C-alpha cells in the first residue's frame, strides 16, 4: 500500500423521508432521539455499517478490500488466516512474544481488510491479532431540526400459525420520521493512516461509499434515504493547518421557511463561509 494521505475533516448531509434511519432496540426500535432537544440522532456504527456494506458490494472481495466485520462472520476464523498465511505458531488469547511477528500479524489484517485499516478493530479474541486504531472516525449524526417520530399501524393478510387461520389479518406497527435532514462530522488522521496503510485509493473508496451507500441500503423500514452533500476540508500538511471546530463552524444550515415543518431538502439552505477558510486548507464539495 502506498500514496499516504494528508489530514481531512468532512461533513456529510443526508436525509430520510418516511423512514426509520436508526432504530433504538431499547425503545421498541423507535428512531433514536435526544430526549432533551428532540433532535434525531444516528450512531457512528450505523453509518460505518453502511460503508462496509457498500464497499463489500462495490469491490466484491477484491484483494485488499475484504470486509472484516460483516454478517455471520466468525472473527476467530478470520484472525487465524493471518497465522496460517504467515506460518506463525498460535498461542490462545496471546500475541507472539516476538514484536516483529506480532506486528506482521496486525499489518497483514490491515492490508487484507478495508474496514480494519479504515476504522480500526479490536482483534484480541481467542486468536489474537492485536488492536488497531483507525484513521477514519465518524461522529454521531444529528438532525438539523427536532423530529416527531410517528407510529404507523400496518396489517398483514396472512397469518403465522394454522390456529389463527380464521383471522382475516394480523396487525403490526412501524415507526417513521416524516422528514429530517441529518449532519454528520468526520475526521481522518494522517499519522494513523500511515500506521494502518490507509492510502489515497482507500480515501476515494471512502468518499464514493459515503455518496452512494444509501442507494444500496433500501428497505421498507428505512423509507427514502439519500446523501445530499459531502463537504471535505483538505489540509496541506499531515498535522493540519487549524482545528477541526473552526472548519465545522464555517458550515451553516438555514431553514428557508420556518413557519412550517420541513418536508424536503429544498426547505433548507446549506452555506459555506469560504471567505474565512484558513490558509493551507482547501474546501471540496461533492
Quote the pLDDT of residue 154. 87
Q: What is the value of pTM for the model shown?
A: 0.93
Give strand pairing partners of 240: none
Quote the pLDDT of residue 247. 98
Quote the pLDDT of residue 1. 42
What would the grid cell of residue 146 be?
427536532
Quote the pLDDT of residue 171. 77
Sign of the torsion angle spanned by Cα atoms 258, 260, 264, 266:
negative
For residue 103, how many C-alpha atoms fall within 13 Å in the half-sphere facing its CB? 6
Quote the pLDDT of residue 135. 98
Q: How far apart are the first and last CA of the chain?
A: 26
Quote the pLDDT of residue 164. 73
Q: List Cα–Cα distances, 270 to 182, 225, 265, in angstroms.
A: 12, 18, 10
The distance from CA 104 to its chain's CA centroid, rounded to whole angstroms, is: 28
CA gyration radius, the chain = 22
**In three state form, how does the secondary structure of 96-142 look?**
CCCHHHHHHHHHHHHHHEHHHHHHEEEEECCCEEEEEECCEEECCEE
Quote the pLDDT of residue 79. 96
| CB environment 214-247: b (16+ within 10 A), e (fewer) | beeeeeeebbebebebbbbbbbeeeebbeebeeb
pLDDT along the chain (286 residues), means of 10: 81 97 93 97 98 97 94 94 95 92 97 98 95 98 96 83 74 91 98 96 98 95 96 96 97 96 97 97 97
Amino acid at each position: 500500500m502506498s500514496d499516504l494521505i494528508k489530514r481531512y475533516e468532512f461533513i456529510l448531509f443526508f436525509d430520510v423521508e418516511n423512514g426509520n434511519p436508526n432504530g433504538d432496540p431499547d425503545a421498541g426500535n423507535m428512531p433514536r432521539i435526544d430526549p432533551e432537544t428532540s433532535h434525531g440522532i444516528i450512531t457512528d456504527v450505523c453509518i460505518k455499517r453502511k460503508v462496509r456494506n457498500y464497499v463489500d458490494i462495490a469491490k466484491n472481495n477484491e484483494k485488499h478490500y475484504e470486509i472484516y466485520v460483516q454478517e455471520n462472520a466468525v472473527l476467530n476464523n478470520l484472525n487465524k488466516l493471518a497465522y496460517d498465511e504467515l506460518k506463525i505458531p498460535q498461542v490462545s488469547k496471546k500475541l507472539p512474544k516476538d514484536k516483529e511477528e506480532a506486528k506482521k500479524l496486525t499489518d497483514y489484517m490491515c492490508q487484507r481488510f478495508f474496514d480494519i485499516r479504515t476504522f480500526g478493530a479490536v482483534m484480541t479474541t481467542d486468536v489474537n491479532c492485536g488492536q488497531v486504531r483507525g484513521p477514519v472516525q465518524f461522529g454521531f449524526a444529528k438532525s438539523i431540526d427536532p423530529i416527531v417520530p410517528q407510529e404507523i399501524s400496518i396489517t398483514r393478510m396472512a397469518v403465522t400459525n394454522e390456529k389463527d387461520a380464521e383471522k382475516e389479518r394480523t396487525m403490526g406497527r412501524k415507526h417513521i420520521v416524516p422528514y429530517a435532514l441529518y449532519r454528520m462530522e468526520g475526521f481522518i488522521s494522517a499519522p494513523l493512516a500511515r500506521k494502518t496503510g490507509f492510502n489515497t485509493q482507500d480515501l476515494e473508496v471512502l468518499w464514493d461509499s459515503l455518496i452512494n451507500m444509501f442507494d444500496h441500503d433500501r428497505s421498507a423500514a428505512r423509507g427514502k434515504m439519500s446523501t445530499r452533500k459531502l463537504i471535505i476540508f483538505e489540509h496541506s500538511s499531515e498535522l493540519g493547518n487549524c482545528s477541526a471546530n473552526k472548519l465545522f463552524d464555517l458550515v451553516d444550515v438555514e431553514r428557508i421557511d420556518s413557519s412550517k415543518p420541513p418536508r424536503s431538502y429544498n426547505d433548507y439552505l446549506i452555506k459555506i463561509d469560504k471567505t474565512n477558510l484558513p490558509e493551507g486548507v482547501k474546501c471540496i464539495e461533492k
